[in-house]
Amino acid sequence: MENEIRVLVVDNNQNITSKIQEQFSSHAVIKVVKTIHNGEEALDYILSSKNEFDLIVMDLILPEVDGLTILEKMKNEHIKKKVIVITSYKKEYTVNMTNNYGVSYYMLKPFSMLALETRILELANHDYIKTIELSEQEKAIHVAISKLLHQLGIPSHIKGYAYIRESVFLFYKNSDAYSGITKEIYPEVALRYSTTASRVERAIRHAIEVSWTRGDYDLMEEIFGNSVAYDRAKPTNSEFIATLADRLRFDRKLIHS
């Protein structure tokens, strides 16, 4: 496939490799070509099949051969691949060593699949993000979100409209991301729109303020009445995004209407 990002996953934890493989099993761009749970096997594969993958997602603590040894061998053999280290090991010396070996990104466990997806796309070429084709269901979700935003009085020409739509969509797909809206979803939206996370946050806040003065009062009471005090305060960005995603999740008729 054109523009495909072929990923090699190396981790002793089979639960993690399975989750990563499942996450990207139907992805439009990212393809997990192989998962390996042993450092020696990983090193053999990297040395013999360097043209079969574009990027490595790897833990440092592996049986037989550890991750640092693999990185050192890659450097000596002039195998230049993007590498994302995923590990619970965070000593400064180890981080510095990975930097010396040209590691692209260092992610501490536990991490979200959304964050990993963002880093892979960013390191490979963030323009891929803009060319991903949505499935029919994902297109229907986008349409449903757009309808809700229009009913809530948010005009489509302001930046916050697009940022909210994308944030709600990402939250809908990753319902466990509530605590990471600021750290995960904002940076992801910013990456997709070539801006910064702080600008995304400000634009969403402005859009919510516009909505609170222009939107359908009865609809707002229906949607937000149980989650925020509509007559006293506007919802926070996180409350607004999560509440709209939950409404779509629990009322699937909206997606097909």
CB 29 within 8 A of CB 128: yes
Q: What is the pLDDT of residue 256?
A: 55
96, 131, 166 - which closes a domain: 131
Same domain, 125 and 142: no
Q: What is the tens place of the pLDDT at every residue in 91-109?
A: 777 777 787 888 888 888 8
Same domain, 143 and 216: yes
Q: At residue 66, does pLDDT exceed 90?
A: yes
131, 154, 178 - which closes a domain: 131
Q: At residue 36, does pLDDT exceed 90?
A: yes
The predicted model scores a pTM of 0.55
The mean per-residue pLDDT over the stretch 121-136 comes to 60
Same domain, 150 and 227: yes
Q: What is the mean pLDDT of the chain?
A: 82
Count of domains observed in the chain: 2
Non-local (6+) Cβ contacts of 1 within 8 A are 31
Specify the higher pLDDT residue, 40 or 210: 40
Same domain, 26 and 64: yes
Helices (H), the chain: 14-23, 39-48, 67-76, 92-100, 113-125, 127-131, 136-151, 159-173, 186-192, 197-214, 217-224, 237-250, 253-256
Q: At residue 130, does pLDDT exceed 50?
A: no
